[in-house]
Structure 1
Amino acid sequence: MKVAVIGSGAWGTALAIRLHKNGHDVTLWSFEKDLIPQMETERVNIRLSQVKLPEGLRISGDYACAKGCNMVVIASPSFPLRSVCRGVAPYIDEDAVVVSVAKGIESGTQLRMSEVVEQETGHKVVVLTGPSHAEEVALELPTACLAACESKEMAELVQDAFMSDAFRIYTSPDAVGAELGAALKNVIALCAGISDGLGFGDNTKAMLMTRGLTEIARLGVAMGAKKETFAGLAGVGDLIVTCTSMHSRNRRAGILIGQGKTPEEAMQEVGAVVEGYYAARSAWELCCKLGVDMPIVHAAYSVLYEGISAAKVVEALLHRSKKAESEDAGWL
């Protein structure tokens, strides 16, 4: 299969390597034109320096690399996603399968990433997501992800393209739930990091993760997702890995904020895209629009965009009125 991976960040690079090792003819497109010569000659991408780029993996800065491809993988960060899709759209063949691995919600429109890709390319999209640090996938450490699409045939095609002895792909028809889990877990991971930075313990992190997952599922169901999706790879799986690992840029940024740095200082120190920062605004816009109660998301928004101290937000969360854990607790 001929494949173009649009986006040479850590995740796009890891997936391009995986596809190449699976025997596909792969081109990795990079927005960072100044890095292309190094990638071509030294076979190293500074975004994923732990592994060498295979010799047969082509590097390009031209959107036309997507022309004639059977599959196009969109691996752009969320904030430039629309412009990237506009750039590559004219070169995507009509019968190509388009895969989105972008994680986030577009600010202003509150569209999921696959909806943005569909709008700009005119193609139905398969969502590939799950608990998957790029570094570990590139090093072929055992990992499982989810290929989600209304079309079973398309989801299974993506499953077959990516699957290997170390990279297991499951399928699901619930792209809505898969994407919301992927996007909103970054917000909860920021909060988990802030908790660590404030010096709180494991109990606090467990509270944030479980109650955060409840909020994500609540919003997901309101948007048409299946509740059980959030108990799977794209929900609790992705949440665990992002909230607990030091590979997690969102958690690392949160730690710095908890230690007293501004969000801007924290993101600069992390030195890579912190998707939870952007997702917090979009998630707060969504829950206001739909009338969904999401106190942890609101807390994150308050710290990131309203300048309220993390300590004050924690105090406000702990002084909320008492309630049952489940909205359908089943009391007689």
Structure 2
Amino acid sequence: MSQPRARAAVFSAGSWGTAVAKIMADAGSDVMVHARRGEIAEAINTRHLNPAYFPDVDLPVSLAATTDPAAALDGADYLVLSIPAQTLRANLAVWAPDIGPDTVIVSLMKGIERDTGLRASQVIAEVTGVSEDRVAVLSGPNLAREIMDGRPAAATVACPDEDAARRFQTACHTRYFRPYTSTDVIGCKLGGAVKNVIALAVGTASGMGLGDNAVALLITRGLAEITRLATAMGAHPATLAGLSGLGDLVASCTSPLARNRTFGVHLGHGLSVEEAMAATRQTTEGVKSAEAVLDLARAHDVEMPITEVISALLNDEVTLDEAAAELMQRPPRPER
């Protein structure tokens, strides 16, 4: 006897939300995407494509869309959230009454809430009142464009409830997308959030023409910063050497498809934060989260010089040349 098809509600119809919706539909789930814009929902339903992000990619027929959040959530086994981290709390407060009692909530967000320093999974539990055992995280080196093209990728599904992690692993396992499981939600979330800040630094260095040695330096020492903060907050060090740590960091720091790196390149070319934002044209979580990450580092007495310099650069407290000099003029010390 065949198992009933899982039902997933994916909020929103942006690039990463659309990619995960496609993954889950290809894996055999019935997927309903919640789109804010009626024309996007109509295009998904009638033409089976998302004209705003992937007009050249056919979407599975088992993937539909609606602008009605209650309709999207009706009967959903999974609620997959892919919205800007800074808007999560307000939006979730509106949607929470329609979330089913057994729905597993999956966070795709890689940001830290600025006012509270909370990870998205913590915000979800706080706003909805659900146990954190029902909140999972999907994180890894996942560039949406490549996934939409069916190129191979992998990610980590982290959840305190191992059975829930395994079920969601099955719900998003396809011939091109391989998920692994973990119970280390803290490590997966911080790996994804802090790598955005490091990718800003790498992009800025690239835009300034500082060379590949500087890029390698920032990636390596950036991983050290991520690991220091994550382990201070309770993560397992091995998580940061995995897909949601090193893997995500490398993809975000080296690919021209990565939006945080792209934003940094614009900064390195001399654009202001506002000009870089307009040129990047997508939500750049590192810009929104840099100060919150630095606040977490200070609260846990963790040294994060790259994050500190990037936060200062974003706040116009240092120039590009001063930022580069500040990192290189730090007192020498043992590597470990």
Smaller-chain TM-score bracket: over 0.9
Post-superposition Cα deviations, 1:201-241, rounded to whole Å, max 9, x if no partner, equal 11100000000110010000111111111100011000000
Q: Which runs of no fewer than 5 residues in structure 2 stay unpaired?
A: 1-5
1:12 counterpart residue number: 17
The CA deviation at 1:55 is: 3.0
1:330 counterpart residue number: none
Counterpart of 2:234 (choices 224, 235, 242) is 224
Residue identity matched to 1:24: S
1:24 counterpart residue number: 29
Mapped pair 1:272 → 2:277: no
Counterpart of 2:270 (choices 233, 243, 260) is 260
Residue identity matched to 1:25: D
Mapped pair 1:38 → 2:48: no
Residue identity matched to 1:36: A
Contact preservation (8 Å) 2:79, 2:105: yes
Mapped pair 1:178 → 2:188: yes
Counterpart of 2:143 (choices 111, 133, 143) is 133
After superposition, the Cα gap between the structure-2 partners of 1:49 and 1:79, relative to the gap in structure 1 and judged at 3 Å, is farther
1:329 counterpart residue number: none
Q: Which runs of no fewer than 5 residues in structure 1 stay unpaired?
A: 327-332
1:69 counterpart residue number: 76
2:59 counterpart residue number: 53
Tell me how many residue pairs correspond in the alignment. Answer: 326
CA distance in 2, matches of 1:162, 1:314: 41
CA distance in 2, matches of 1:50, 1:217: 39
CA distance in 1, matches of 2:242, 2:28: 29
Residue identity matched to 2:77: N
Post-superposition Cα deviations, 1:53-104, rounded to whole Å, max 9, x if no partner, equal 2333111111112021111111112121112212221111101111111111
Secondary structure class of the residue paired with 1:165? coil
2:201 counterpart residue number: 191
CA distance in 1, matches of 2:169, 2:44: 28
The CA deviation at 1:144 is: 0.5
Secondary structure class of the residue paired with 1:47? coil
Contact preservation (8 Å) 1:105, 1:111: yes
CA distance in 2, matches of 1:279, 1:140: 30
Residue identity matched to 2:32: T
Contact preservation (8 Å) 2:84, 2:283: yes
Contact preservation (8 Å) 1:76, 1:84: no
CA distance in 1, matches of 2:274, 2:318: 14
Residue identity matched to 1:92: I
CA distance in 2, matches of 1:48, 1:300: 31
Secondary structure class of the residue paired with 2:86? coil
User: What's the C-alpha RMSD, in Å, of the aligned pairs?
Assistant: 1.2
Contact preservation (8 Å) 1:4, 1:73: yes
The CA deviation at 1:35 is: 3.0
Residue identity matched to 2:124: V
Secondary structure class of the residue paired with 1:103? coil
List aligned pairs for 1:26-175, cutoff 5 A: 26-45=31-50, 46-64=52-70, 65-123=72-130, 124-175=134-185
The CA deviation at 1:311 is: 1.2
Structure 1 length as normaliser, TM-score? 0.95
The CA deviation at 1:34 is: 4.6
Structure 2 length as normaliser, TM-score? 0.94
Task: Indicate the percent of aligned positions where both proteins have the same amino acid.
Answer: 38
Out of 246-255 and 51-60, give the one that drifted further: 51-60
Residue identity matched to 1:264: E
Out of 214-223 and 278-287, give the one that drifted further: 278-287
1:294 counterpart residue number: 304
Contact preservation (8 Å) 1:9, 1:48: no
CA distance in 1, matches of 2:20, 2:8: 11
CA distance in 1, matches of 2:90, 2:145: 27
CA distance in 2, matches of 1:138, 1:85: 27
Contact preservation (8 Å) 1:100, 1:113: yes
